Amino acid sequence: MLSFYQITDLHYYAADILKPKGDAWEYRAKYDQKCVAESGAILDAAIDKLLTDKETEVVLISGDLVSDGEKEGHYALPEKLRRLTAGGKRVFVLTATHDVAPYPPYPKTYFADRGEVQSEGLRKPELLELYWEFGPKDALSVHRESFSYVTKLAEHIRLFALNDDGVGWERGFHGYLESELQWLKEQLEEGQKSGDTLLAMGHHPLLPPSPVYSPADEILGDHEKIAALLADAGVHFMFTGHTHMQNISYFDSPRGNRIFDINTASLIGYPSPIRKMTLTEETLTVETQHIDKLNWDLGGKSYLEYSKGHFEFMLRDILDSAAHDIRHFCEISQGFSLSKEKAWKLRVPISAAGKLMDRLTFQKAGRLLLCAKKIPPEMRERRLCDFVIDVVRNIYAGDEPYTPDTPEYVAFMALANRLMPILRRVLKASDPKAFLEGVLYNSGYPDNDAVLPVPKK
């Protein structure tokens, strides 16, 4: 049996060193989906929590260690991680696209008079040296060009820590270099010969965590090919990050071998999870934990309530500005992966939709679409804007709850069915109903707390 933790997407911004100031910083701290200003305090609280567990030694950290590659964050982070090693933990890290300069988003600092200014970052060889002690130092094999390595977590358990920076952020492909892939195949063969249990860790998800997530540029390159390679080699669990979403999904290779992708959300953005996992010969038990408090003024709230409020503030501001201030909408849309330029091009339909959503309840929408009788009584006065916020929050938190027996599902699908021809074109999905159902409820394994079977060899 082996117990271990996973945290990911620390996006640590060394504010105590960089001392950011001014309107641009205030704007960033307010409108980033993550709690960037609080990131140092969140990380410290998470480390405190991990140190209270004296029995579990292994901690996996699957990339995006610092905010945007700031060298100050990279220089400060190892000292924080050494608190874990001093407390008896064995820490295994990967770097990812937010860690490597000069790929965008570039390292940043903030000044009262100059606003956001590009600062210095570190390149991959420097990162390998800086984080060498957290995994590569005692590895069985290291692929230096990529910063991938294979190590032992326990006597008969191997971890493949696979860096997927690929050819760089700017080319839109996150995957494995050719030399890295050849190295991986050789190491998988060695792992099979050893008879060890094989696990993998990466940054970009192996599988889409949600129907809204684009396979084109946000998941591991050649993901089905890699998933089949790993599954057929006996790797049945991979631990990933990047999406800031909680999700557990699986892939069956053409040869009938299964691999699970345990995708974990960012430590510094709602729902700020810490995964604890226990592996036996029969099962992998996944438990999601959270920090309760940290050294920050939370306004009397628990940290989970605080981070939820931060997350929802941005969602509400997006919806309100779509209805009432389209210029402001375009400024803040980047926080949810819609560029300012694209938002401005779409300003007319966005503004029209925003104004409509702002005043619609389910009952009013039902009347407009001639399906009011299908709206359950408890949903009639609920605003569509509030429902959309709930749905988006649930996608990030995992375990989307609106199953077909809930009034939320019945009300939403009554409206969606009337709009299906339009949705088919807008969503560009062959089955828009299945797409929408995937957003409303989780039909697979639980995303937060689950007992996953270990596939038989």
Helical ranges in 291-430 per DSSP H: 303-324, 326-332, 340-345, 347-359, 362-368, 384-397, 407-418, 420-427
Q: Which pLDDT tens digit goes with each residue over 228-284?
A: 999 999 999 999 999 999 999 999 999 999 999 999 999 999 999 999 999 999 999
Q: Which of 107, 189, 177, 109 is nearest to 148 (CA)?
A: 177
The token pair at 123 is: 């390149």
What's the average model confidence in pLDDT over 75-91? 97
CA of residue 381 relative to chain centroid, distance? 33
pLDDT for position 170 = 45
d(CA 24, CA 330): 16
d(CA 293, CA 412): 36
Residue 101 has pLDDT above 90, yes or no: no
The set of residues, in sequence order, having a beta carbon less than 8 Å from that of 176 and lying 6+ positions away, is 146, 148, 162, 164, 166, 184, 221, 222, 226
Q: Which pLDDT tens digit goes with each residue over 12-47?
A: 999 999 999 999 999 999 988 899 999 999 999 999
pLDDT for position 167 = 53
d(CA 31, CA 335): 7
Helical ranges in 211-275 per DSSP H: 223-232
What's the average model confidence in pLDDT over 212-230? 85
Q: Which of 74, 163, 193 is nearest to 126 (CA)?
A: 74
Question: Is 367:415 a contact under the CB 8 Å cutoff?
Answer: no
pLDDT band at 104 (very low <50, low <70, confident <90, very high): low
Q: Which pLDDT tens digit goes with each residue over 374-420?
A: 999 999 999 999 999 999 999 999 999 999 999 999 999 999 999 88
Domains, the chain, in order of start with CATH, read: 2-295 (3.60.21.10), 301-359 (no CATH), 361-444 (no CATH)
Backbone angles phi, psi at 46, to 5 degrees: -65, -40
Round the average pLDDT of the chain to a whole number and report it: 92
pLDDT for position 175 = 86
Helical ranges in 6-152 per DSSP H: 15-18, 23-31, 39-52, 71-86, 124-130
pTM of the predicted model as reported, rounded to 2 decimal places: 0.93
pLDDT band at 166 (very low <50, low <70, confident <90, very high): low
Three-state DSSP state, 371 = coil
d(CA 111, CA 115): 5
Q: Which pLDDT tens digit goes with each residue over 112-128?
A: 999 999 999 998 899 99
Backbone angles phi, psi at 296, to 5 degrees: -160, 150
CA of residue 178 relative to chain centroid, distance? 26
Residue 206 has pLDDT above 50, yes or no: yes
Residue type, 18: L
Kindly list the strands in the beta sheet with 258-263, ordered across the sheet, starting from the edge strand earlier in the chain.
141-143, 148-154, 157-161, 197-201, 235-240, 258-263, 247-252
What's the average model confidence in pLDDT over 365-377? 95
CA distances from residue 95 to 114, 124, 222, 335 in whole angstroms, order as listed: 30, 9, 20, 22
CA of residue 197 relative to chain centroid, distance? 26
Q: How many residues does the chain have?
A: 457
d(CA 58, CA 409): 41
Q: Which of 426, 415, 357, 416 is nearest to 389 (CA)?
A: 357
Residue type, 48: D
Q: For strand 108-111 and strand 90-94, is the pairing parallel, antiparallel, or unpaired?
A: unpaired
Our separate counts of H helices and E strands in the chain read 16, 15
Q: Which pLDDT tens digit goes with each residue over 170-202?
A: 455 678 988 999 999 999 999 999 999 999 999
pLDDT band at 425 (very low <50, low <70, confident <90, very high): confident
